[in-house]
Structure 1
């Protein structure tokens, strides 16, 4: 199963791979060179298909839990000053995604969207300290029953060149439903109220819509 954001790219890649295969078959005589080039075409197609995969998962929603918005690895757990929306101190949990991870972004909590904004910006590597403030990014805030307002921020990385954000202000959203998609590697930051019980550790591998990030 593939995510809708990948349909166009998958179709273009498939046409390109077919074209390259025909060209290789017609123009390359050397057997070893042909094999290497054919293998390269297959690998390209597999990488694109894997990147846009959207595996079926059984989500167990709970208003008393904050779920990971994406697949990846926890790289930050710290108290920070959130400048854009809250303008006060929050607990930040950041999940880094490699190009091999599923890149669907899911709502960590359910509730009402109170803020949704896109920011154009740079393409610093996703783990750069200033990427959260200077890279292309989207900021979404959802007001939940148990945690109040929870902010999650999609951040483009050095390879990511497009962030897709589905959140619309004032709409009601379900926990673990699609919030957006980030193409080709990046990270997502989650900002929680000070004192929230964090249930993950640094370098822990997490799954979007499955792993519990925090709980009451």
Structure 2
């Protein structure tokens, strides 16, 4: 378990600010023991909450052709057939995973392959489970072409709290299965669009672990 690079600078400056705040209170209000203890406890709890948000557990790279792994920690909130009209313009099976602020927010590639298409969309910050969040929120669209030619679309969607989507790929980038490709700060969602003949291996409300939970099996 390590701290993700997206949080290191924030955590450093937060530690400095909280330490300075508590030092200042102890210096100027030495007699206010109850207040000092409350502020210190609140500072420690707040820092630990932010610290756990940026945790980055070790996830081994896999090479299981035909298996699609969850791109994120969270809960399955959507399993349905939809028309994906940005890239495929055809019917696909959609699996959506909602990440709460307490989940690990590292995003991992569900399969190995090459990024065939990538696009960033600025947008709104509706709650991540809102029906229009997938078309109106800040988001990215990434299409991965697997070794057998199968294409999957993965969409990062910012939520009401998450206002910074990070990605580390572009069109043409190679991806390892379960390798990191991005990060979303605070509550958010990741959608995966699969071929219609894919076998879905998860259920609604099931908890997932990014790079560890198999969510679908592709047809040979």
Same fold, TM-score > 0.5, yes or no: yes
Aligned residue in 2 for 1:144 = 146
Q: How many residue pairs end up in the alignment?
A: 216
Deviation at 1:7, TM superposition (A): 1.3
Alignment of 1:65-76 (within 5 A): 65-76=67-78
CA distance in 2 between partners of 1:54 and 1:210 (Å): 14
Matched, 1:196 2:198: yes
Aligned residue in 2 for 1:58 = 60
Aligned residue in 2 for 1:117 = 119
CA distance in 2 between partners of 1:147 and 1:184 (Å): 34
> 13-22 or 99-108, which moves further after superposition?
13-22
**Contact 1:75/1:96 (8 A) holds in 2:** yes
**Contact 1:91/1:192 (8 A) holds in 2:** yes
Aligned residue in 1 for 2:85 = 83
CA distance in 1 between partners of 2:143 and 2:130 (Å): 23
Deviation at 1:17, TM superposition (A): 1.4
Matched, 1:172 2:193: no
Q: TM-score, normalised by structure 1?
A: 0.96
Deviation at 1:59, TM superposition (A): 4.2
Deviation at 1:34, TM superposition (A): 1.4
SS of aligned partner of 1:66: strand
What 5-or-longer segments of structure 2 have no aligned partner? none
CA distance in 2 between partners of 1:97 and 1:70 (Å): 7
Aligned residue in 2 for 1:131 = 133
> 59-68 or 74-83, which moves further after superposition?
59-68
CA distance in 1 between partners of 2:13 and 2:187 (Å): 20
Deviation at 1:147, TM superposition (A): 6.8
**Contact 2:60/2:178 (8 A) holds in 1:** no
Alignment of 1:14-33 (within 5 A): 14-28=15-29, 29-33=31-35
